[in-house]
């Protein structure tokens, strides 16, 4: 599990006396979910803190996608058990909760192995946290909620959320109906559900009013969005993007994660016609072999993916792509691996996520024959990653000498340094006035490094700020 713990604002000014520590692993949706959990607990007097020591409540928001997710959870719980016991020995209390996809999949096992856990809740139940905290105070054992009432969750979330910053995530869709052979999402997040467009637009307006300038729309299968529109008709993602682009002050729009089967012509046209939609798309292919794609139940071929890439680039010539690659899926042969390498060379990715196949209990691939041995998976993954690293470095280097609009998101590590993002999601560092944070400014890229860019803010921009 990758730690994506959100840096939540410390709301000491509210007078809250209870301390809440949230640790989030995995995808951006978990980061969004953690923020909303903090929102629903705020009326109970909980204010976020940045360490578990001395916390009145600790929530571990888990992800089941990565390898050994359950083992990592129990390792963390073992450390927290000591803090909980110390606090109780001193007459205090620590409510310990496990949330997210591992909680959904392993609820009973968590309680059996860690009986000191007070609350276990799945991704669709965090709106019930206040009630569960009260029940945990009365119960002799753990309180468990792992149902799938997704509509109820969104209906009961509070409107007011803590400001997320210049860039922010907004969940518009949850669950997946694709049932890829390697994936646990349909079992931990449930079937596809899309939030009503009016609710999405209202939340987006609130976020922009709080200072957000770039929104990343989230969903397990986000381009399958089919929410109810204000007029009662069904809206697809493209129509939602057009409506969001009309919000004053919302400068940039992104969305993730997409499925090739749901990239329709309207969405391709949105990339061409909406300036706020950034020229960067995460479009997982997983493999370049049709035989492996069929075994994965992906529902598309390599040729279908390549034709889709061509249509997207025809609509938006400056579009950059990222993807997901799995090395060593059961049954993958050497020629399948070579087909994946060939597809990567053909597309040319700006960035990517690549992993060895690992078993997810309960998924179809977990019991599949013809397992690939670990040494072969390691070697194939290293070859995939080497090629992808070269492509990313080449893409970053290609920006050197260009003047690029950069959305500055915060301060850099060095005194006087700012950090920001290009339209293609590349991190950029440049020296400049802190008053530029939250603004888009032209930056001449001086160098493209493997994982970031270094630039110089155009002198006219600095002069304008000094004159203001």
Which residue positions form the known binding site? Answer: 27, 63, 101, 176, 180, 183
- E strand segments, 68-123: 95-100, 119-121
- E strand segments, 276-416: 280-282, 320-327, 351-356, 403-411
Does residue 257 have a cis peptide bond before it, meaning omega lies within 30 degrees of 0?
Answer: yes
- E strand segments, 85-182: 95-100, 119-121, 143-145, 167-171, 173-174
Closest CA to 323 of 252, 256, 272, 269: 256
Closest CA to 396 of 368, 366, 428: 428
* Residue 453 near residue 429 (C-beta atoms within 8 A): yes
Angle at Cα 324 formed by Cα 449 and Cα 212, nearest 5°?
A: 65
Collapse the DSSP code of 160 into the 3-class scheme (helix H, G, I; strand E, B; otherwise coil) and give the result.
coil
Collapse the DSSP code of 178 into the 3-class scheme (helix H, G, I; strand E, B; otherwise coil) and give the result.
coil
| Rounded distance between C-alpha atoms, residue 7 and residue 10, angstroms | 9
Return left, alpha or beta for 147; rule: phi > 0 is left, psi -120 to 50 is alpha, else beta: beta
Which residues belong to the annotated binding site for [4Fe-4S] cluster? 27, 63, 101, 176, 180, 183
| Rounded distance between C-alpha atoms, residue 304 and residue 283, angstroms | 13
């Amino acid at each position: 599990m990758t730690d994506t713990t959100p840096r939540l604002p410390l709301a000491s000014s509210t007078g809250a006396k209870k301390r809440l520590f949230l640790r989030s692993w995995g995808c951006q949706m978990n980061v969004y979910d953690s923020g909303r959990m903090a929102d629903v607990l705020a009326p109970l007097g909980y204010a976020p803190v940045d360490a578990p020591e001395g916390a009145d409540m600790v929530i571990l928001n888990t992800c089941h996608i990565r390898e050994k997710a359950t083992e990592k959870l129990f390792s963390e719980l073992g450390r927290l058990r000591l803090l909980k016991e110390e606090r109780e020995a001193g007459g205090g209390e620590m409510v310990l909760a496990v949330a997210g996809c591992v909680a959904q999949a392993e609820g009973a096992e968590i309680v059996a192995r860690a009986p000191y856990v007070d609350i276990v809740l799945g991704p669709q139940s965090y709106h019930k946290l206040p009630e569960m905290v009260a029940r945990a105070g009365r119960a002799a054992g753990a309180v468990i909620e792992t149902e799938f009432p997704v509509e109820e969750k969104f209906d009961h979330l509070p409107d007011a959320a803590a400001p997320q910053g210049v860039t922010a995530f907004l969940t518009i869709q949850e669950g997946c109906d694709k049932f890829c052979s390697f994936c646990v999402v349909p079992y931990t997040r449930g079937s596809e559900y899309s939030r009503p467009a009016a609710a999405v637009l209202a939340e987006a307006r609130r976020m922009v009013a709080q200072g957000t300038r770039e929104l990343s729309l989230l969903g397990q299968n986000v381009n399958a969005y089919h929410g109810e529109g204000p007029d009662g008709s069904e809206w697809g993602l493209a129509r939602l993007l057009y409506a969001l682009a009309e919000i004053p002050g919302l400068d940039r729009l992104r969305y993730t994660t997409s499925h090739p089967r749901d990239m329709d012509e309207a969405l391709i046209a949105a990339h061409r016609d909406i300036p706020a939609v950034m020229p960067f798309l995460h479009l997982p292919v997983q493999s370049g072999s049709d035989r492996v794609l069929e075994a994965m139940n992906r529902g598309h071929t390599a040729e279908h993916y390549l034709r889709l890439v061509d249509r997207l680039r025809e609509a938006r010539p400056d579009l950059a792509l990222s993807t997901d690659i799995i090395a060593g899926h059961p049954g993958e042969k050497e020629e399948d691996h070579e087909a994946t390498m060939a597809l990567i060379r053909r597309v040319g990715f700006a960035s990517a996520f690549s992993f060895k196949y690992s078993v997810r209990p309960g998924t179809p691939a977990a019991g599949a024959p013809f397992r690939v041995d670990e040494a072969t998976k390691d070697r194939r993954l290293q070859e995939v990653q080497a090629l992808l690293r070269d492509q990313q470095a080449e893409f970053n280097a290609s920006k050197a000498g260009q003047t690029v609009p950069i959305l500055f998101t915060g301060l850099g590590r060095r005194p006087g340094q700012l950090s920001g993002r290009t339209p293609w999601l590349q991190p950029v560092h440049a020296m400049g006035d802190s008053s530029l944070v939250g603004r888009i400014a032209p930056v001449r890229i001086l160098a493209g490094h493997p994982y970031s860019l270094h630039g110089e803010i155009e002198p006219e921009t600095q002069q304008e700020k000094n004159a203001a």
